[in-house]
Amino acid sequence: MLIGTSYYSPATIKGVFILEKKDVNQYSPLTLAFLGDAVYEQLVRERLVLTANVPVGKLHKEAVLRVKAAYQSAAAGLIERMLAEDEAAVMKRGRNATGSTVPKKSNPIEYRHATSLETLFGYLYLLGNNKRIRELFDYIWDNTESE
């Protein structure tokens, strides 16, 4: 069942849905962030599992450290200088998006920067640009530490 009335007919390459840039830009930044949050968290979980075969409780604690707003905010700042013009514009849209409530454990500035990172990951995912997602994620992982 589709929600709403807008639907873009995606092309598929190897089972991955790909939209054109003009179609991806029609999505709100918070919608892109909704998807990007899942993309980013999956990458974190995948990396943790492939790094060490440890109890799930330890994996969960480490994942939480890397998906919380403070970490993602720092990650967004880290990759800003690496971004193409369109990617920087998408992050700016995500950072300036309104309507989201800030969790108690986050400060509003960090939360907006974290949202900008998630927006970028959602945008790149819908474009089918998994290579770029991996490049940015690998850079973040290699140049940050969890608390």
Residue tagged active-site, from 23, 37, 86, 138: 37
DSSP string, the chain: --SSS-----EEETTEEE--HHHHTTS-HHHHHHHHHHHHHHHHHHHHHHH----HHHHHHHHHHHHSHHHHHHHHHHHGGG--HHHHHHHHHHHH--SPPPPTTS-HHHHHHHHHHHHHHHHHHHTT-HHHHHHHHHHHHHH----
Query: Active-site residue 23, yes or no?
Result: no
Strand 16-18, strand 11-13: pairing = antiparallel
Q: Kindly list the catalytic residues.
A: 37
